[in-house]
Amino acid sequence: MIAVAPPSLRRERALIKRGVWPVAGCDEAGRGPLAGPVVAAAVVLDPRRIPKGIDDSKRLTPERREELFEEICLTASFAVVFASPARIDRDNILRASLWALARAVHALPEMPKHVFVDGRDRLDTACDCEAVIGGDGLVLSIAAASIIAKVSRDRLMCKLAQDCPGYGFESHKGYGVPEHLEALNRLGPTVHHRRFFAPVAAARERHQAMTIETDVIALETQITVEVSAGI
């Protein structure tokens, strides 16, 4: 097994030594799912009070993510922004994600002087922005943001599961696993689904066709009954 080094505060400390502060990290959760929002978080860690064990959210168990979420919220400043399925449908998933990330940075209690963002794309912010590919595994403040975004989104999907029983949002969080695809084909899309993602669009067309067929059958039955009654 190859050991993976945890993210570090090296880049943030280099900026702090140059007098650049605050320094934020930001990341998103939920680009790939078929349902639910994409959630962005921005975090400014306090170098004197950093919770132990912060890592890329994908490397952590759900239980450990929840623990670190609470610790980060108590020791850091942060902001969370949700980009709705309607915005994703209108703008596309990339633009909706970048919008949410930029809004999260601007929603921080104090505007940072520098922000690190996970990925290839820089953000439209009033401060310097540095994109770091694989940043959630390299830059500690991005890793912290990945935890805040992931837990915030997971909690929301569990609430949506109560409003939309039968889809399994509480377990797969909207991703296109077989259980979700089966429910989508059986029940049809909800208002929380992303209309233009291929499996959702296909399920919508299928259910629209079924609805038209049902309406035609109902109309033919009604006409047959009316004719029979008139004879």
Range of the domain at 190: 178-230
Total count of domains within the chain:
2
Helical segments of the chain, H only: 10-17, 62-75, 85-91, 93-106, 140-163, 169-172, 178-187, 198-230
13: left (phi over 0), alpha (psi -120 to 50) or beta: alpha
pLDDT tens-digit map of 9-46: 999 999 999 999 999 999 999 999 999 999 999 999 99
Half-sphere exposure for 56 (CA within 13 Å, toward CB): 14
pLDDT bracket for residue 189 (50, 70, 90): very high
pLDDT at 224 (0 to 100): 47
pLDDT bracket for residue 4 (50, 70, 90): confident
Are both 166 and 185 inside the same structural domain?
Answer: no
pLDDT at 105 (0 to 100): 98
Average pLDDT, the chain: 91
Q: Is the pTM of this model over 0.85?
A: yes
Question: Residue 31: which CATH number?
Answer: 3.30.420.10
158 in any annotated domain = yes
Q: For residue 21, what are its two tokens?
A: 């502060």
5 in any annotated domain = no
| 202: helix, strand or coil | helix
Of 170, 203, 218, at which residue does a domain stop?
A: 170
Are both 121 and 28 inside the same structural domain?
Answer: yes
Nearest CA among 52, 54, 46 for reference residue 151: 54
Are both 76 and 16 inside the same structural domain?
Answer: yes
207 in any annotated domain = yes
Separation CA 40–CA 87 (nearest Å): 14
pLDDT tens-digit map of 34-82: 999 999 999 999 999 999 999 999 999 999 999 999 999 999 999 999 9
Separation CA 152–CA 204 (nearest Å): 28
Q: Which residues, at least 6 apart from 193, have a Cβ–Cβ distance to it below 8 Å?
A: 34, 35, 85, 184, 200
117 in any annotated domain = yes
